[in-house]
Structure 1
Amino acid sequence: MLNGRDPRIDFFRGLALIFIFWDHVPHNPLGQITLRNFGFSDAAEVFVFLAGYAAVLAYGKILQRDGYWFATLKILRRAWVLYVVHIFLLAMLMGIVFFANSHVETRDLVAEMGLTHFVTHPQQALTDELLLRFKPNLMDPLPLYIVLLAGLPLVLPMMLRKAWAVVAVSTTIYLLAPWMGWNLRAIADGVWYFNPVTWQLLFVLGGAAALYSSKERPVDTRPLSRQPLFIAAALYVVVAGVITVSWRWPEIHDAVMPYLISELIYPISKTDLSPVRLVHFLALAYVTAKLLPGAGWTRNWLAGHVCQMGRYSLEVFCLGVVLAPLADMLNAIMGDALTMQLLTATAGAILMAGLAAWLEFNKRLNQRAPAPAPALNR
């Protein structure tokens, strides 16, 4: 039987949401400390992997308890809610960006956010929006999650029986997709920026990790320095970090980067989830799990708020999408002053944490059982 919720998963989901928000505010100095600056992968990989982890953990329990069709109904209902949220959020985003663009004279925020298609072809854009083909900047993760979640009923029963077989098929599809040109159509680039045919592997691996962690297994008690897999993973994370940091100085990078390695790893495609990105995330996840084996560190005040953000990831993600263009507008009006950039980035994260805290408060309030009515004397 699948076990309960791991607070570490909530923490890293919340942290990924903060990083996604910071990464999507141009010129934001706090964006320099996010994951993408120190390795080949970024917060998107964290978000998708943990989405798969949480989905298999939650709906696997429902399937085991209530059967396949009830679990499928719950999954598809959730996917429908996400689809409706996507439509509503896109409408809000367009309104905010058009408003912000009217107050910023130095830049074209409509073009930067990928909303030109709506301006030039509004009727077609509405159709493309309903078909998930019109995806402005900031909106890509949500349609990807909708598609991956909608496909979960096809693999969940086999995942619970033979997860290795699902991983093997998923890996085969992942390897064939770039070679065969498999992707979904979209406006602007012609295909989805996050190719669901390749990113599905990360979602599946997240689900497999959830199943693996739910079973009792012997623990390797050797020091980390004597565990070859940990050493290899840590070494890869360090090397990837050094290479990524060297991108800030192209002359130094070109001078020290061996030609053969450059030919092997470049270009590092985010659309097709390049193998070096995938391996980097898996190595980073493994190293993190080894260095933080328990959940006691999540009980402090700050980590607790980040965990709350992870528990309400949909609502917090949507708020981050709305806040990013507003923060960009305020920064642009103030001439991209450093103090203003720090203020908007920090305020946005605080508002996201505040929303999660409010939702948690309401949940606990609703869970309180009403006091029993006094019996009437007869």
Structure 2
Amino acid sequence: MLNGRDPRIDFFRGLALIFIFWDHVPHNPLGQITLRNFGFSDAAEVFVFLAGFAAVLAYGKIMQRDGYWMACLKILRRTWVLYVVHIFLLAMLMGIVFFANSHVETRDLVEEMGLTHFITHPQQALTDELLLRFKPNLMDPLPLYIVLLAGLSVVLPWLVRQTEVVIGISMAVYLLAPWMGWNLRAIADGVWYFNPVTWQFLFVLGGAAAVHSLRPKPVEVRPLTRQPLFLGALVYVVVAGILTVSWRWPEVHDAWMPAVVSDLIYPISKTDLSPLRLLHFLALAYVTAKLLPGVGWTHNWLAQQTCRMGRYSLEVFCLGVLLAPLADMVNAMANDAFTMQIFTALVGAVVMALLAAWLEFNKRLNQPKPA
């Protein structure tokens, strides 16, 4: 049965939302402690994998209870909601960026945010927006999720019942896509920054992990130090972390990195979800799951706030997108830039947590009272 809710999923979704917000604010000091600074993958992989995990848990349960067509209908209804949210969010983001740009004299925030297309070709930009081809900076994850969730309406029954077959087909598409040049069209670079043809594999793996998590599994009695898979994953995470940190000092990196290895691993593409990024995330997720097998640590106050943000990930993500250019504007106008950057980063995270708390409060108000 696909049921239950793992608070660890909500926690890491909430943490990913905080990291995404911090990463989206230029020159933010707290952006130096996010996942992207210590490995090949970043919060985007966390977000997509857990989106697949949560979606299969939720809609798989509906499919088992009410049948496939009801689950499909609800998936498509949710996809439509995401599409409408994308349209309104882009309109609000443009308004905020234009406002911020009028208060920052040293930079062109409109160009930095990728909104020049709307200035130069407003009618075409509106059409491109409706077709998900016009995606300014900060907006890329939402169109990706729209496409992936729509695809789930087709593959859900097979993903639940024939998981290995779906993984195999998904992997084949993932491997072929960069070689064949498969991607969706967009303005600016011509293709989607997050290629849904490759990122679908991570989404499918998240759904497969959800199915696997509910199957009976033998209890592992060996300590972690005697589990080869855990040790291999841990070594890969550590090596990737060291290599990523070395990027801060190019002369150090170039001194110890053999040219043959450098030519082999670079560039590490985010658009096509490079195998090095994918393996890093999977290794990191496996190590984390092994080190945090229980849910007791999610019961403290701070973890609960983060879990709540993860439960309302769509609303909190949209708020983070809107807060990022405002924080950038305030930072650019401040005399003490470093202090203000820390302040706006923390305030933004608190505001996102407050939104989640407000949504939770409203949800409880709308619940029928027991007779």
Q: TM-score, normalised by structure 2?
A: 0.99
User: How far, CA to CA, are the matches of 1:81 and 1:254 in structure 2?
Assistant: 48
Matched with 1:376 is none
After TM superposition, give the deviation of residue 260 of structure 1 in Å. Answer: 2.2
User: How far, CA to CA, are the matches of 2:13 and 2:335 in structure 1?
Assistant: 32
Matched with 2:30 is 30
Q: Please give the secondary structure, in 1, of the residue aligned with 2:16.
A: helix
User: How far, CA to CA, are the matches of 2:171 and 2:157 in structure 1?
Assistant: 18
Matched with 2:293 is 293
User: How far, CA to CA, are the matches of 1:86 and 1:181 in structure 2?
Assistant: 26
Report the residue type matching 2:68 in the other structure.
Y
Within-5 A mapping of 1:70-219 = 70-219=70-219
CA contact (8 A) 2:128 2:134 kept: yes
Query: Could you give the per-residue CA deviations for residues 1-25 of structure 1, whole angstroms, max 9, x where no partner exists?
Result: 1130100000000000000000000
Report the residue type matching 1:194 in the other structure.
F
User: How far, CA to CA, are the matches of 2:56 and 2:345 in structure 1?
Assistant: 33
Report the residue type matching 2:177 in the other structure.
A
User: How far, CA to CA, are the matches of 2:234 and 2:109 in structure 1?
Assistant: 40
CA contact (8 A) 1:27 1:336 kept: no
Matched with 2:9 is 9
Q: Please give the secondary structure, in 2, of the residue aligned with 1:31.
A: helix
Q: Please give the secondary structure, in 1, of the residue aligned with 2:129.
A: helix
User: How far, CA to CA, are the matches of 1:335 and 1:189 in structure 2?
Assistant: 36
Query: Could you give the per-residue CA deviations for residues 110-136 of structure 1, whole angstroms, max 9, x where no partner exists?
Result: 000000000000000000000000000
After TM superposition, give the deviation of residue 370 of structure 1 in Å. Answer: 6.3
User: How far, CA to CA, are the matches of 1:238 and 1:30 in structure 2?
Assistant: 21
CA contact (8 A) 2:3 2:58 kept: no
After TM superposition, give the deviation of residue 335 of structure 1 in Å. Answer: 4.6
Moved more, 16-25 or 254-263: 254-263
CA contact (8 A) 1:53 1:206 kept: yes
CA contact (8 A) 1:22 1:31 kept: yes
Q: Please give the secondary structure, in 1, of the residue aligned with 2:5.
A: coil
User: How far, CA to CA, are the matches of 2:173 and 2:315 in structure 1?
Assistant: 32
Within-5 A mapping of 1:217-366 = 217-335=217-335, 337-366=337-366
Q: Percent identity?
A: 82
User: How far, CA to CA, are the matches of 2:261 and 2:5 in structure 1?
Assistant: 41
User: How far, CA to CA, are the matches of 1:263 and 1:169 in structure 2?
Assistant: 29
Report the residue type matching 1:327 in the other structure.
A
Report the residue type matching 1:145 in the other structure.
Y
Report the residue type matching 2:23 in the other structure.
D
After TM superposition, give the deviation of residue 147 of structure 1 in Å. Answer: 0.2
Matched with 1:375 is none
Structure 1 runs of 4+ aligned residues shifted over 4 Å read: none
User: How far, CA to CA, are the matches of 2:146 and 2:130 in structure 1?
Assistant: 13
User: How far, CA to CA, are the matches of 1:303 and 1:98 in structure 2?
Assistant: 36
Give the alignment's Cα RMSD to 1 decimal. 0.8
Query: Could you give the per-residue CA deviations for residues 250-271 of structure 1, whole angstroms, max 9, x where no partner exists?
Result: 0000000122221221000000
Unaligned runs of 5+ residues in structure 1 are 372-378
User: How far, CA to CA, are the matches of 2:370 and 2:346 in structure 1?
Assistant: 39
CA contact (8 A) 1:247 1:253 kept: yes
After TM superposition, give the deviation of residue 368 of structure 1 in Å. Answer: 3.9
CA contact (8 A) 1:93 1:321 kept: yes
User: How far, CA to CA, are the matches of 2:370 and 2:165 in structure 1?
Assistant: 48
Report the residue type matching 1:344 in the other structure.
T
After TM superposition, give the deviation of residue 219 of structure 1 in Å. Answer: 2.0
Unaligned runs of 5+ residues in structure 2 are none
Query: Could you give the per-residue CA deviations for residues 137-193 of structure 1, whole angstroms, max 9, x where no partner exists?
Result: 000000000000001021111011110100000000000000000000001010000
After TM superposition, give the deviation of residue 76 of structure 1 in Å. Answer: 0.2
Aligned residues: 371
CA contact (8 A) 1:53 1:210 kept: yes
Q: TM-score, normalised by structure 1?
A: 0.97
User: How far, CA to CA, are the matches of 1:335 and 1:119 in structure 2?
Assistant: 31
